[in-house]
Amino acid sequence: MTSSTLSRSDTSTPGVRSARGPAMLALALGGFGIGTTEFVAMGLLPEMASGLGVSEPIAGHVISAYALGVVVGAPLIAALTARVPRRTLLIALMVAFTVGNAASVFAPSYTTLMMARFVAGLPHGAYFGVAALVAAHLAEPGKRAKAVAMVMMGLSVANVIGVPVAAWIGQALGWRSAFALVAVIGVATVAPLFVWIPRLDGMPVTNPITELGALGRVQVWMTLIVGMVGFGGMFAVYTYISTTLTDVSGLGASFIPLALMLYGLGMVAGNFVGGYLADRALMKGLFLSMGSLVVILAVFVIAVRNPYTALVFVFLIGLAGSSMVPGLQTRLMDVAEDAQTLAASLNHAALNIANAFGAWIGGVVIAAGYGYTAPAAVGSLLAVAGLVVLAVAVILQRRAVR
């Protein structure tokens, strides 16, 4: 039974219709906390490096540690908890996320912070994967991608409000205070999940073997690779955005929260655009989103040298990158068949592999002496590679249908 079938049958139930709005809000609130912790470290990288006594590229590994936690946790949790009711699982994942961020606040050294960030990342992919399935389950007919986009909206709004506020607090009170704020958000999310998420009795419960079957489907892997490669280019730029804007664009450090907010606004717009495109022309929308990212990252190499155009393109990078997420998530649910929980969770594992890979390759070209514009050039090439993989996936799918 597909998620689209589930959404059609459940939409006719009055209890589901009345629960839809509050449930979406609760799911998005969890995404808000996760988005804040995922991206705030990028805005506080100079402060973290100074506080931990390491170089900025080395401090960037803290971001990679969180991403690695997502990569490990997403498939592991999705498979092992296949029989757990979705509502119970969402609440448990948010509790684990809160504990991991609290540990980040009290980590006494670089090594222990790396471990804490890894733990904090473990529930990330599984939460978004399950939340996306719940949203699709509750959605009105023909609006699956829009429902998924609304859940991802929490992630986007985090970049408009949560990340800038946390970055400002981190600059004023020390970087640890930013993670303390995230832990508070996590605590504040558990209650709405408990109260507003319905029982979801209509959602099927699978088993680990069925879920692991997703790993044997070529189209699942192709879609994941598109996310890994394409988003790697975006994160290569965004990881080092603070120093890029201060050293290349000439902006003062006080403008960094504004830049992060603009990126978040781009993500909000991208979610709306991506959900709209995916509900109407899924594959065409993905090609359009990734093609736009190629061009925007390439032009950013030049545009970043002016503070005004730099800020405009920070917004555009957020828009183009975020517009891909609803489409990739929806496509994974379509091609995964009866292994949707694992596939949906793996989407965020793939995006965080892109996060880790982008942070690494951005650091490599910077350390090699190519400067802070080099990550954008490399990122554009990675987005081109993502387009190629997407085209190959379409060709293989068409041949399989014949």
CA distances from 218 to 3, 283, 347 (A): 20, 17, 14
Lowest-pLDDT choice from 103-107, 156-160, 245-249, 277-281: 156-160
Residue 254 gets which letter from DSSP? Answer: G
Q: Note whether 164 and 257 are within 8 A (CB).
A: yes
- Predicted local confidence at residue 18, as pLDDT: 59
CA angle, residues 16, 18, 21, in degrees to nearest 5: 100
Q: Quick count: other Cβ atoms within 10 Å of Cβ 57?
A: 18
Q: Note whether 199 and 87 are within 8 A (CB).
A: yes
Query: What would the two tokens of residue 184 be?
Result: 């508070």
- Predicted local confidence at residue 204, as pLDDT: 66
Q: What is the mean pLDDT of the chain?
A: 85
Measured CA to CA, the distance from residue 355 to residue 235 in angstroms comes to: 5
- Predicted local confidence at residue 78, as pLDDT: 83
Number of H helices, E strands in the chain: 18, 0
As to burial, measured by CB atoms within 10 angstroms (0-12 exposed, 13-18 middle, 19+ buried), residue 347 is buried
- Predicted local confidence at residue 226, as pLDDT: 92
Q: Which domains does the chain have, with CATH numbers?
A: 3-401 (1.20.1250.20)
Measured CA to CA, the distance from residue 332 to residue 235 in angstroms comes to: 22
Query: What would the two tokens of residue 364 be?
Result: 């490599």
Question: Quick one: which H or E segment has residue 364?
Answer: helix 340-365
- Predicted local confidence at residue 57, as pLDDT: 76
pLDDT digits (tens, 9 = 90+) for 212-271: 777 788 899 999 999 888 888 888 898 888 889 999 999 988 888 788 788 888 988 998
- Predicted local confidence at residue 105, as pLDDT: 92
Q: What is the pTM of this model?
A: 0.75
- Predicted local confidence at residue 351, as pLDDT: 81
Structure-token match 């705030």, residue found = 40
Relative orientation angle of helices 110-138 and 144-157, to the nearest 10 degrees: 150
Q: What single letter denotes the amino acid at residue 8?
A: R
Q: Note whether 303 and 310 are within 8 A (CB).
A: yes
Question: Cβ contacts of residue 34 below 8 Å, gap of 6+?
Answer: 97, 124, 127, 128, 154, 155, 158
Structure-token match 């996306």, residue found = 132
Structure-token match 């689209």, residue found = 4
- Predicted local confidence at residue 402, as pLDDT: 67
Q: Note whether 31 and 152 are within 8 A (CB).
A: yes
Residue with more model confidence, 307 or 210: 307
pLDDT digits (tens, 9 = 90+) for 128-184: 888 888 888 887 777 777 888 888 888 888 878 888 888 889 988 999 999 999 999
Q: Residues 335-339: what's their mean pLDDT? A: 77
For the residues of 124-165, what is the DSSP string, one character each?
A: HHHHHHHHHHHHHHHSPTT-HHHHHHHHHHHHHHIIIIIHHH
For the residues of 367-382, what is the DSSP string, one character each?
A: IIII-TTHHHHHHHHH
Query: What would the two tokens of residue 197 be?
Result: 């998420």
Asked whether the predicted pLDDT for residue 97 surpasses 70, the reply is: yes
Closest Cα to residue 353, out of 67, 155, 52, 141?
A: 67
Residue with more model confidence, 204 or 135: 135
Q: Quick count: other Cβ atoms within 10 Å of Cβ 77?
A: 26
Q: Residues 273-284: what's their mean pLDDT? A: 88
Q: Note whether 7 and 144 are within 8 A (CB).
A: yes
Residue with more model confidence, 86 or 315: 315
